[in-house]
Structure 1
Amino acid sequence: MTSDSIRIRLIAMGGTIAMRREEGQGSTPRDGADELAGSTPSPSGVRVERQDLTLKPSASVTLADVADLCRAIAKAEADGVTGVVVTHGTDTLEETAFALGLMERGAIPVVVTGAMRSADSIGADGPANLANAIRVASHPDARRHGVMVLFGDEIHAGHFVRKVHSGRPHAFSSEPYGPLGHVTEDVVRFEMAALVDLPQLTLGETADGRIPVVPILQAGLDLEPEAIRLFEAAEIDALVISGVGGGHVSARAAQELERLARIKPVVMTSRVGMGPTLSNSYAYAGGDIDLGKRGILNGGRWRPAQARILLQLLISRGMRFEETRSGQ
């Protein structure tokens, strides 16, 4: 591949990287792909094409938006681009990156990035993150790593990364695994590879266009049965429990979860953030063995927000959580 053949498509979706502060008010999304690309010099030999998809804070990004993004990425591949860079808000960046890894989007490398400081802030980190994301998407080895996240000079696997700080510029981590690589002195260095077999899914077309409703309920000291009963409503399609420790709840919650699991899927995950949901360790009421016997599905390696996305996609296709290998 010659240097002048490298084409990167920048797809802008909003977020802090696109925000500016109005006098006397807070920051709101304002900059599109043209403004973002204009503030970031392209690496030598790389042509950056620009496309606006949304202009939202990332808490308002929907799975339908991610499905649109998948189609935009597939179109970019059909147009012959080398790779895609997506700018996105950091609040739900890890969820969009994970969803992209699950959903059909083509085979070209995709790098998601953003910023913790708005475009008009002192020390804005968006231009550096964007420039490095373009470098990563342009790298000849990028294709083998699938969906990646570039933040603070670190290259992360999209299904491992998570936001670990609400305000500092170095806000993302892939602990306990570590990043795939780094960008140092404008040079991309891949040092690891992530070997995870993700199920491949699409967002189904429901009759009313509704995204399946799958809330997350976090457990703590003595999770109350009364809280669990709130999720019996027919409008709720499934429930993810963010359990304590290896995926556990209070003894008095276990019976209520068993009753709910007869009505709709209930998936147990761990709120810890590292390590899988246990399945064969604790037999006490509310422990992982007990919950399995009560029909509660084991979330396996997926964090609560990831299990939620997976359930939404599966339910939209009329599939069952246990039909995939995701809980292993």
Structure 2
Amino acid sequence: MSTRTVGVFSLGGTIAMTTDPATGGVVPALSAGDLLDAVPALRSLDVELQVHDFRRLPGASLGFEDLYALSDAVADAFRSGCDGVVVTQGTDTIEETAHLLDLLHAGDRPIVVTGAMRNPTLPGADGPANLYAAVLAAADPALTGVGAVVVLGDEIHAARAVRKSHTTSPAAFTSPASGPLGGLYEGRAHLNRPLARRVAFPGRPVRAAPRVGLYTATLGDDGALLAGMAAACDGLVVAAFGVGHVPQSFVAVLGDTAARIPVVLTSRIGNGPVLSATYGFPGSEKDLLDRGLVRGGHLDAYRARILLHLLLAQGRTPAEIADAFRALAD
């Protein structure tokens, strides 16, 4: 394989943290160059690295504007000749970052998002190994057409499927519905199955940041808090029970809200689809979809919120929003 070029964008997070003497806790302080210097094995690869010290924030403090700016910078890196891109960031929001980058990226070259569960001050810090694996993945032609993926623990996870499933374990990232897309060993990426069809929605925001709420159904909720949230939103995602069910007290509020703004129906389970025509009682998936809610399909609530925010920011019409969710529903 001829020399490949990989852009590395550092956003901060645990992978880039060191101890703050003032607080005794770790904070994001290492630059992208510092991260690469901690992985001597990268020097043996036939890969040219282009380093971008993009942000130094905890994952929880990243916002949409940071990620839209990152998407633009990644696009510039591809236009300048990069064969792949690596993004390092905090694991708190890796799912959201990878999904948004995947939605915005219409090209074939891979975007690989990685991070660390153990900060560099701890024994067995996993950041260097994850960064090495991410660079290998981004440089590997086998990932052409993959879109955005998450690489940790030598596993490759599709942006649409990956979940952080444990708060502290180095093996925190899984793909419950499908398993990993592939893995890395002997210096190469190996895919477990053919790449799935991707749907992208490239384009910069054309309106001020929309306010998209996420409301989770819980036992005994009378709907008053839901009504308060809905009144303040430009779009709403409901994380319903099971296959798409809510308390009967939600029904009128959701019907009225769906007549005013897009309301997306997802499941709080996070694995499996929202159905469309099985149950018919008030508050069932069929009842809610008949009242104008948009079916989230297999998208979990967090991903549905990312997609709805993007579509609203791009100025899409209600019909276009419904079409977009249909395209990604199954």
TM-score (norm 1): 0.93
Aligned-CA RMSD value: 1.6
Seen in structure 2, the aligned counterparts of structure 1 residues 129 and 307 have a Cα distance that, compared at 3 Å, is same
- Alpha carbons 1:270, 1:276 under 8 Å: kept: yes
- Map of 1:13-32 to 2, 5 A cutoff? 13-23=11-21, 24-32=23-31
- Map of 1:271-286 to 2, 5 A cutoff? 271-286=268-283
- Alpha carbons 1:14, 1:89 under 8 Å: kept: yes
1:33 — aligned with what? Answer: 32
- Alpha carbons 1:214, 1:239 under 8 Å: kept: yes
Alpha-carbon distance in structure 2 between the residues aligned to 1:146 and 1:317? 20
C-alpha displacement at 1:264, in angstroms?
A: 1.6
For the residue of structure 2 that corresponds to 1:283, the secondary structure is coil
Identity, % of aligned pairs?
37
2:118 — aligned with what? Answer: 117
Alpha-carbon distance in structure 2 between the residues aligned to 1:223 and 1:290? 19
What is the CA deviation profile of residues 248-296 of structure 1, one whole-angstrom value per residue up to 9, with x for unaligned ones? Answer: 1011211221122222221110011111111111101111111112222
What is the CA deviation profile of residues 198-253 of structure 1, one whole-angstrom value per residue up to 9, with x for unaligned ones? Answer: 242323132xxx311111111121332101111243x4211110001011101121
User: Which residue among 251, 254, 262 is the counterpart of 1:254?
Assistant: 251
- Alpha carbons 1:37, 1:48 under 8 Å: kept: no
What is the CA deviation profile of residues 43-74 of structure 1, one whole-angstrom value per residue up to 9, with x for unaligned ones? Answer: 42122221111111112212221111111111
Alpha-carbon distance in structure 1 between the residues aligned to 2:182 and 2:291? 43
Contiguous gaps of at least 5 residues in structure 1 = none
User: Which residue among 6, 9, 32 is the counterpart of 1:8?
Assistant: 6
Say whether 1:268 aligns with 2:276: no
Q: Which runs of 4+ in 1 moved over 6 A?
A: none
| AA of the residue aligned to 1:37 | L
C-alpha displacement at 1:22, in angstroms?
A: 2.2
- Alpha carbons 1:74, 1:105 under 8 Å: kept: no
Range with bigger deviation, 122-131 or 193-202: 193-202
2:224 — aligned with what? Answer: 226
C-alpha displacement at 1:28, in angstroms?
A: 0.8
What is the CA deviation profile of residues 90-142 of structure 1, one whole-angstrom value per residue up to 9, with x for unaligned ones? Answer: 11101110111111464321111000111221111000000011111111211
- Alpha carbons 2:109, 2:146 under 8 Å: kept: no
| AA of the residue aligned to 2:211 | V
For the residue of structure 1 that corresponds to 2:91, the secondary structure is coil
Alpha-carbon distance in structure 1 between the residues aligned to 2:110 and 2:198? 17
- Alpha carbons 1:179, 1:192 under 8 Å: kept: no
Seen in structure 2, the aligned counterparts of structure 1 residues 242 and 302 have a Cα distance that, compared at 3 Å, is same
- Map of 1:171-186 to 2, 5 A cutoff? 171-186=172-187
What is the CA deviation profile of residues 138-179 of structure 1, one whole-angstrom value per residue up to 9, with x for unaligned ones? Answer: 112111222111011101111111111111111101122111
1:196 — aligned with what? Answer: 197
- Alpha carbons 2:107, 2:147 under 8 Å: kept: no
- Map of 1:205-244 to 2, 5 A cutoff? 205-206=206-207, 210-233=208-231, 235-244=232-241
Alpha-carbon distance in structure 2 between the residues aligned to 1:90 and 1:76? 23
Alpha-carbon distance in structure 2 between the residues aligned to 1:193 and 1:149? 17
- Alpha carbons 1:201, 1:314 under 8 Å: kept: no
2:328 — aligned with what? Answer: 326
| AA of the residue aligned to 1:285 | P
2:89 — aligned with what? Answer: 88
Range with bigger deviation, 25-34 or 260-269: 260-269
For the residue of structure 2 that corresponds to 1:200, the secondary structure is coil
Alpha-carbon distance in structure 2 between the residues aligned to 1:85 and 1:268? 33
Alpha-carbon distance in structure 2 between the residues aligned to 1:313 and 1:237? 12
2:171 — aligned with what? Answer: 170
| AA of the residue aligned to 2:235 | A
Say whether 1:156 aligns with 2:157: yes
| AA of the residue aligned to 1:164 | S
Q: Aligned residue pairs: how many?
A: 322
C-alpha displacement at 1:185, in angstroms?
A: 4.1
For the residue of structure 1 that corresponds to 2:233, the secondary structure is coil
- Alpha carbons 2:142, 2:189 under 8 Å: kept: no
| AA of the residue aligned to 2:39 | T
User: Which residue among 299, 303, 311 is the counterpart of 2:300?
Assistant: 303
